[in-house]
Amino acid sequence: MFAIYRGEVKWKIRDLSRMRRFVDLAIIRLCDLLIARSEVRYGGMAERRRLVSDLAKRLELDYVGFDRVRSARQVVLVQVEEYETTERVYRVSLRCRSVDGGRTLKDFLSNRILGLVDLDTGECVNDIPAYLCDLLAEAGGELPRYWPRPEHDPIRSTSLGVAFDRHGYAVGWAFGVHSSFRSALDILYSADSKSSNGIWTQGIPPRYGFEVGDLMHSPAPWGPQTRYSVQVKSLNDQEVTVSLMVVNDRRVISSQELTMSQSDFAELLRIGIPQQSAVVAEAEHHLEPTAP
C-alpha cells in the first residue's frame, strides 16, 4: 500500500512539474506576443545597429509624433541607429536627449522629421539626409542603408495644410476649393484613441486624389461677369489633364489643356493661373481689365 501511495505521490509531483513548465512557457509566449504587438504599434525593433554615438549636436526638429501632432522639438543628438521592425519596415532613429540637460533618451524616426535647424550655426537645413550623412562622416560613423523619408512610409498629422472659412472654402487659395474636396486633399476624419471625438488628419506628403469632372472657379480681372475656371478632364496614374478656361458671362473666351501631377494641380488651385499662361494671353485680346 505504501509503495502504491508513494507512486501516486511521485506521479502527482511529476504532473505538477509539467504544469509549472507549461505555465512558464505560456507566460513566455504571452510576453513575446505583447512585445511584438508593442513593436508593431510603436515602431519597435528586430535588431538595432548603432551607426554613431557620443555626439552632442544641438538641433531643432520639425517632427510628427505617433500621436499625429506636428511640433518643434529642441534636442541634443546623441547617437544614430538603424533597425527593422517586426513588420520588416526599415527605420533610422535619431536618439536624442532634451536640451535642458536631461539624461533620458528619446527616439526620433528620420521619416517623421519634416524640417531641421542646426542650433549651433542657425542653418535651416534643406537636404536633411545629406546633412546627416555629413554629420556621420565627420564623427567617423557608418552610413545607413538609406534615409527613410515620409514618402517611403506615409504618415498623417493633425496639422492641416489648408483651413476652411465659415462658408466652407479654403482660406487663402486662389480657386474656390470647398470643404467637400477634403478627401481629394487627403484630409480624412478618423477616430481618436484618446477621446470620444474624431480628428481630422492629412497625409505628409498629401496623396491628392482629384477626380474627373472636378470643377472650381476663381475671380478674374475683367469684371464681375468674368472668372477663371479649371476642370479635371482625365486621369493617368498620378497625373491629371485639366482644362483652364476664362469664362465671361457663361461664355468660354479662351481655354488651354495641361497635364500635370496631382500635387502640381493642388498648387495651381492654391496660387492661381500664372499671368504669363497662354489662356490669359488669349483672353487679354478679347477683354479689357477693369479698374481696381
Instruction: Give the phi and the psi of residue 199 in degrees, each rounded to 5.
Output: -135, 155
Q: Where does residue 208 rank: exposed (0-12), middle (13-18), buried (19+ CB within 10 A)?
A: buried
Percent of the chain whose pLDDT exceeds 70: 79
pLDDT digits (tens, 9 = 90+) for 213-227: 999 999 887 777 888
Q: What is the mean pLDDT of residues 278-291?
A: 71
**pLDDT score recorded for residue 176:** 94
Give the whole-angstrom CA distance, residue 288 versus residue 51. Answer: 65
Q: What is the pTM of this model?
A: 0.63
Does residue 45 carry a pLDDT above 50?
A: no
User: Beta partners for 60?
Assistant: 74, 117
Give the whole-angstrom CA distance, residue 189 versus residue 186. Answer: 10
CA atoms within 13 A on the CB side of 223: 11
Q: What is the mean pLDDT of the chain?
A: 82
Give the whole-angstrom CA distance, residue 261 versus residue 208. Answer: 9
Grid cell of 146 as nine digits: 538609406
Count how many residues are written for the chain. Answer: 292
6: left (phi over 0), alpha (psi -120 to 50) or beta: alpha
- Which is more confidently placed, 222 or 259? 259
| CA distance readout (Å), 166 to 163, 216, 217, 234 | 10, 18, 18, 31
**Residue whose grid cell is 549651433:** 120
pLDDT digits (tens, 9 = 90+) for 97-132: 988 877 788 999 998 998 999 999 999 998 999 999
pLDDT digits (tens, 9 = 90+) for 56-111: 999 999 998 888 888 999 999 999 999 988 878 889 999 999 888 777 889 999 98
